[in-house]
Every structure is written in structure tokens, then in C-alpha cells.
Amino acid sequence: MTEPLLSVKGLTTRFRTERGTVNAVDDVSFDVAPGQTVAVVGESGSGKSVTALSILRLIPNPPGQITGGQILFEGQDLLQLPDAQMRAIRGDRIAMIFQEPMSSLNPSLTIGLQIAEPIHQHRGTPWQQALDMARGLLEKVHIPDAAKRLHTYPHHYSGGMRQRAMIAMALACQPRLIIADEPTTALDVTVQAQILDLLKDLTRETGASLILITHDLGVVARYADRVVVMYGGRVVEQGPARTIYQRPSHPYTRGLLASVPRLDGPAGERLVPIEGSPPDLAALPPGCAFAPRCRQVSDACLATRPKLRAIGTDHLNACLRDDL
């Protein structure tokens, strides 16, 4: 395997809450190879968004704090960088696309200005030239009438167009890594397909890597090369997308795949739900976080916290039971 572009090692992010300190991300490790699309999958409270924010060091402190681990990006540990150097990387080498395009765009600045800003900031390109480049970027994300649209405000844009503008902004400095946190959750399905196809095409074209954070298993199947499944702030399984879908190994991954109705599955049959609810991070059991909902739970699962271990080529699983 080639040298990974990003290597997250033992990342732990804590939050102080009224109910005590919780590990929103707990000893999380995964690699992203150049040009690869890695999906981080999980439900609410699984720590997938906090992982994304931690990579960019955007965790609000207080209440949050990255307490351990390394984030090696192009060989450099991002957690050791001074703030100024980190700022120089954000939006330049690593870009982020957020879920809510409306709340992450500034309503009082024109779209053009917002796309040109990182170019001006990071590259020192004069504003006029940066605006020209912004127009090119808008064309690249298929916004009709880009020259005119450059000077309009976010509220003139529809949901899908705003997300396109966000993608244009993310691409502005030709990042090596794009982190997209639920980029299409707020959009209609036909627009979702357009946006994700666009993102995939553009990353392919520029050779950038993509971390796609989502809860949608269909989206993962369509776009991801590699899948990291998170539960209760921990990685429970990871591997190549095909392996995860064909031979899911962790009971949570299996449960998740079985509980979702599929367009090509049998209709009208009872689904197999995962009983119980997603875990409360402030009251995690001492052993496996999934143990209280697991059908195959054993005594050991309640007492011992399982470690991620290799169970196949490039396939890691954190389940104590190897007989499953």
C-alpha cells in the first residue's frame, strides 16, 4: 500500500458535560490513502462528526478537547502544529463541506466573495483574480449563469445550488483531502445524486481523497472505497466497502445492514431491527459499547472492552467473539 495521505492514530476527543466527561471519540484509528473515498458510518452519538471536526481541529474548547492520539497528514502531526500553521492548512490542503449549506454560508456576503476568500487568503491572489477563479469554480460545479451568480447572495440559491457553492469553496485551493459531513442529508434524492456524483467526479479528477460522513448505507455503497463503522465513539469495524457489505463481521454492522429496507430486497416482510437505542455516551458499559443491544452478547463482552483486530485482508473488527 502506498503511504497514506491521512493517518488517524488513537484519536480521543473528550467533552465536559453536566453529566461528567464523555469520550465522544475514543481511540479511533484509520487511514485514508491518496485518492481514496473513505466513508465513516454511524448513528447519532457515534462520534463520526466529532472525528471530522477533530481532524480539522475545530473542536470548541471548552467544552471539548482532543486528549490523545495523532493525526498524521502528509507526514505531519496536525495535533502538534501551532494554531497559525493549522489555519494555513484548513481550507487549503484540507477542506470541509458541512451538512447545512445555509448555516455554513455567510448570508451577508456574496457567494463569489466567499469562494474567492480562501484563494485570496491562502495564495495571496489579488481579489479580482480570485473572483475570476471563483467564477471558474462555479462553472465547474455546474451552476448556470456563473458570471451573474457570482454577485448574488446565498438566499438567492436553492438548497442544491448552495451545496454546489460549498463544494466550489472547498475545491478553491485544490485540497488533497475533502471532509464532507452529511453533505446531502438536507437535500432531495434527485439532487442528492447530482451532488454526490459531482463530488466523486471532482475528487477523481483532482486526485483528492474524500472522507464522507454519513448514516446512509446506500450512499456508502455507491461512493465509498473503504468503510469505517463507528458506534459509541469507537470504531467497531473497518475494511474495503465490498468486504463490509458482503461479509459484515461485527454484530452492529450486520444488524445495521439487516434493519434497513432495501429497494432490491423483499418488500412487506418484517425487518430485523436492532433492539434498544443508540448508546448514551455518559453511561457506556465497561465492556463493549454495543453489548446491551447485541443478540450475541457473552459475559466477556460486558466486562472487557474489545480491541480492533485484523480478521482478514485489510478487514478489522472489534468484537470479542471470534466464533461468529
Partner 1 sequence: MTSESATPARGDPLLQVDGLKVHFPLTQGVIFRREIGVVKAVDGVSFDLTRGETLGLVGESGCGKSTTSLAVLRMHPASAGRIVFEGEDITQQTQGSFRRRMQMVYQDPYGSLDPRMKVADIVGEPLVVHRTSASRADYDERVAQLLATVGLLPAMAERYPHEFSGGQRQRIGIARALALEPSLVICDEPVSALDVSIQAQVINVLMELQERLALSYLFVAHDLAVVRHISHRIAVMYLGRIVEIADRDDLFREPLHPYTQALLSAVPVADPEIEATRARQVLLGEVPSVMRPPSGCRFHPRCPQAFAACRTEDPELLDMGGRQVACHLHRRGVIPIRPAAAAAA
* Contacting positions for partner 1 (CB under 8 A): 43-44, 158-161, 188-194, 197, 215-224, 241-242, 245-246, 255-257, 259-275, 277-278
Apex CA 62: angle with CA 84 and CA 103, to 5°?
75
List, as one string, the DSSP characters of 211-232.
Answer: EEEES-HHHHHHH-SEEEEEET
Cα distance between residue 182 and residue 288, in whole Å: 27
Closer Cβ to partner 1, 82 or 266, answer by number: 266
Q: How far is the CB of 295 from partner 1 (least distance, A)?
A: 13
Nearest to 323 by CA among 311, 305, 313: 311
Closer Cβ to partner 1, 128 or 190, answer by number: 190
Phi, psi for residue 80 in degrees, rounded to 5: -95, -5
Which residue is it, cell 478487514? Answer: 315
Q: How far is the CB of 152 from partner 1 (least distance, A)?
A: 16
Q: How far is the CB of 290 from partner 1 (least distance, A)?
A: 10
Closer Cβ to partner 1, 63 or 265, answer by number: 265
Tell me the torsion sign for CA atoms 193, 194, 199, 203. Answer: positive
- DSSP classification of residue 235: E
Closer Cβ to partner 1, 84 or 263, answer by number: 263
How large is the angle between the packed helices 159-171 and 127-140, nearest 10 degrees?
120
Q: How far is the CB of 124 from partner 1 (least distance, A)?
A: 36
Q: How far is the CB of 250 from partner 1 (least distance, A)?
A: 13
Closer Cβ to partner 1, 40 or 130, answer by number: 40
Nearest to 313 by CA among 221, 219, 258, 247: 247
Closer Cβ to partner 1, 10 or 276, answer by number: 276
Determine what percent of the chain falls in helix, strand and coil, rounding each to the nearest 5.
Answer: 35, 25, 40
Number of alpha carbons in the 13 Å side-chain half-sphere of residue 156: 15
Give me the count of residues in the chain.
Answer: 324
Closer Cβ to partner 1, 239 or 287, answer by number: 239
Closer Cβ to partner 1, 84 or 189, answer by number: 189
Cα distance between residue 161 and residue 154, in whole Å: 9
Phi, psi for residue 320 in degrees, rounded to 5: -70, -30
Q: How far is the CB of 251 from partner 1 (least distance, A)?
A: 12
- DSSP classification of residue 316: E
For residues 211 and 238, the answer to whether their CB atoms sit within 8 Å is no
Closer Cβ to partner 1, 9 or 200, answer by number: 200
